[in-house]
Structure formats: C-alpha cells, structure tokens
Amino acid sequence: MQIALLGGTGDIGEGLALRFAYDTDHDVLIGSRDASRAETKAREYETELDSRGLTVDVAGHDNADAAAAADVVVLAVPAYHLADTVEAIAADIDADTVLVTPAVGMKRDEDGFHYNRPGAGSVTALAAEAAPEDVPVVGAYHNLSAARLANLDADLGIDTAIVGDDADAVDTVTRLSEEIEGLRAVDAGPLANAAEIEAITPLLINVAKNNDGMHDLGVRFE
Amino acid sequence: MQIALLGGTGDIGEGLALRFAYDTDHDVLIGSRDASRAETKAREYETELDSRGLTVDVAGHDNADAAAAADVVVLAVPAYHLADTVEAIAADIDADTVLVTPAVGMKRDEDGFHYNRPGAGSVTALAAEAAPEDVPVVGAYHNLSAARLANLDADLGIDTAIVGDDADAVDTVTRLSEEIEGLRAVDAGPLANAAEIEAITPLLINVAKNNDGMHDLGVRFE
C-alpha cells in the first residue's frame, strides 16, 4: 500500500512515517503544504532509517500529490487545519482512499490540559464532515506520543482505539496499525464514539506532568 | 482507617468493599439508604471473605452513620444520586473526612456509550459543589470494573487516575488505593482535570463490546 502522511513534517507525522517505514513493507509518502519541505523531511527520515540499516525511499510531495498517490491518507495536522487540509485534497481522493484522522483539540489552563470538544461532537467527526461523502473516514492514533513513535528504540506496548462507520476501512487501518511493532489496534465502534478517545490525549499529558518518571505516555486497555 | 462505602450495596461499592477488606488492614463500613440492606450485604461480603480464609468484620449502617464513623467516605452511588447522598451526610462529615467520588455520567445510544458531561464540568466537580466547603473531595476509581473488583481471583494490573485540590487528601487516597493489590494510583492533577478521566468509562464499555475476548476492562498508562 501507499501510505501518505499529510502534515508529515510535523511531530506526529514524523513518528508515524518512521514507524510505518521501519515496521511495514508499505511505501511512505510525506505530504506538506510546501513540497520542498516534504522532500527535505523525507530525506531526513531516510537518513534516520539508513542509520538503522534500512534503505528505503521516502517520497516528499505537496499534500494533494501525496494524497492522490495513496491508498491510506493520514491527516497528521493540527485540529484547526483539519478541514482546510481535507478540502485541499478533496479532488484527489475517492471511495478507494481511506482517510485517517488522529487530530485532537485541546486547551490548556493553569490546572492542565483539557479536551476541547468541537460542536461536531469530536475532531474525528469534523474530519468526516469535511470529507467527500464517498470517502471513508477512520479515527485512529489519537493517543500516541509523537516523541515515542519517532524514537525507534522506544518500545510501544500500547493500544490505539479505532473508530469508523465503514467496516472495510476500519479493517484496513486495523491491519496496517498492527504491523507497527508493539501497537495493538482495538475497535471502539462507530465514528460517533470518537470523543471519548480524543479526550484521553490531554489526560495523558496531565498524568505525565504530575507523576515523576512517566512521560511520552500511551494507553493500554487491560 | 475507617473506610465507608456509601451505596456499598451496589456493584462498584461491593467491588471496592471486597478489595479494601481483602487487601488492606482498614475497617470497611457499608452504607446504604436502608441500614438493614447494608447489614445484609455486609454479612454477604464477610461470607465471601471467609470463604477465602479471611475472617473480618464488615459493618453495615445507613449512609449517615457510616459516613460519621469514617475517615474516608467513598460515594459509590450513581451520578444522579451523588448530590442527594452528599447532602444527606453533610452534617456527619468534617474537614478530617476525605470524600471520594468514583461516579461517572453516561448515556447510551445505538452507537455505544457516551460520556454525559454535566454542566459543572464533571461528575467529580458536582460532588465537590455539593460537599461542605471544608471537606476535601478527591476523584478516584472512575474507570474500575465493578465485576473485576468483586472477583477476588481476578488480577487487576490497572491504574486509577486521581484528581483533587487538597494535597493531603490526594495523598491519603493514593496510599489507600495502592494497598489494593495490582492497582496503581496516578496523579492527574486538580479536580478540574476530572472530565477526561470520567470519559474513559464509556470508552471501556465500547471497547469491550466491539472486541472479542476483552471484557471488564481497565486502563493502564504506559
């Protein structure tokens, strides 16, 4: 498969790109609003992978070209860029493309981080509203630490809860996710169940902040 | 210490009562609106503990008497009874009592369970609003499976995220929680951070419903 990471020059995009390239046989395409920036980052990721004995090509494109070439398109962009990003690639994706949204909206105050639930019900639902009607949308990777993903020496041993209304698309993302070593995909049901998953992300930051020795946390359903 | 479980005849109350009685040296008091029902349940818990070679007294009282005798009062009641329950015991608790609230508000539709966030910000915040001003309130045990707690053969190996604005009260509940075998207490910061913890409970139900072999789930921050 061709996996595009839109916003693949950012933290979570970098982490997912490295893990997909290192742990799976799929092709990884980095997307950015600026194609030359995507190219530069793709070379950096290749260098990091090469230092671990893995010679692979990582492509760099603008978001639309990356999406057009991909079977799975991960929207690794901040929540406030999600709708824009989907609209910018709408003409380049179709019913055979699976859109994956890991974005979470948070706000911060003196107590800690808090889930900032959008009017649509969740950020995942926002992505689904922005997507062309025939393109399946799957929520995944909301609770993964970008730093832990990007450090290929770090064991994962964590879960990602997956939501979606299209069973085939959920199956594709589930199988792809489980190719990442140490990542278990669990099915959390339809897209309407996304908010409770997204809300875990600020909690993980609060727990890391308040407990010595806990950082770059993920979650495990036991 | 004296640990009162108000609503200690219900599912989560039973689970916590059995674990506190089995794993700690503290005294366990079952509270109920109906003292005779609390007495009956206390005898059942003694029988269950006796079957495992542990002879202990479990007391049964009405909620107010149980609270009056206790150092730590766990409000093991449904979210919609929380404010009533706190008001019913307000005269029986003081600044030396720690109130613990594990309640979560949920609603269910055809997609699954959803967090029903109250206007106060969280159910934990509702409890704090209902409590006398000098009584410290701690949020804990929101994400524990009642059935798994009540089955003393079941390993826990899970976390409970704790929130509170009174450091001494948080410390008391943290230490008490960690006396339960296999339960790790993590500090999630002030009470204002409770909603994201409460939201995990419906997610655990959704995950259990959608994945074969996963049931009575808890969460672990890894």
In a domain, residue A221? The reply is no
Q: What is the mean pLDDT of residues B75-98?
A: 97
Integer CA distances (angstroms), A114 to A63, A184, A202, B221, in order: 30, 25, 5, 17
Residue A10 corresponds to which tokens in the numbers above?
């950012």
Residue B220 inside a domain? The answer is no
Instruction: Please report whether residue B218 resides in a domain.
Output: no
Residue A120 sits in a domain whose CATH number is 3.40.50.720
Give tens-digit pLDDT for B167-204.
Answer: 999 999 999 999 999 999 999 999 999 999 999 999 99
Query: Does A220 sit within 8 Å of B214, measured CB to CB?
Result: no
**Cα(B81)–Cα(B77) distance, rounded to whole angstroms?**
6
3-state secondary structure B172-218: HHHHHHHCCCCEEEEECCCHHHHHHHHCHHHHHHHHHHHCCCCCCCC
In a domain, B42, yes or no: yes
Q: Which positions ≥6 away from B81 have C-beta within 8 Å?
A: B7
Is B199 close to A204, i.e. CB distance below 8 A? Answer: no
A3 touches chain B (CB under 8 A): no
pTM across the whole model: 0.97
Number of domains in chain A: 1
Q: Which domain holds residue B76?
A: 2-210
| Residue B199 pLDDT | 98
CB A206 within 8 A of CB B196: yes
Nearest residue, CB atoms, A206 vs list B189, B200, B211: B189
Q: Does B222 touch chain A (CB under 8 A)?
A: yes
A80 touches chain B (CB under 8 A): no
| Residue A149 belongs to some domain of the structure | yes
Portion 137-166 of A in contact with B at CB < 8 A: 157-158, 161
Q: What is the pLDDT of residues B48-58, one digit of tens each?
A: 999 999 999 99
Residue A62 pLDDT: 97
pLDDT by residue (tens digit) across A59-98? 999 999 999 999 999 999 999 999 999 999 999 999 999 9
Q: Do A111 and B193 touch (CB under 8 A)?
A: yes
Mean pLDDT of chain B: 98
Select from B193, B195, B221 the Cβ nearest to the Cβ of A214: B221
Q: Report yes or no: A1 at the B interface, CB cutoff 8 Å.
A: no
SS3 of chain A: helix, strand, coil, percent, to 5 = 40, 20, 35
- Across the interface, which of B112, B189, B219 has its CB nearest the CB of A209? B189
For residue A217, being part of any structural domain is answered with no
Calculate mean pLDDT across residues A165-174: 98
Q: Residue A126: in which H helix or E strand, if any?
A: helix A123-130
pLDDT class for B208, splitting at 50, 70, 90? very high
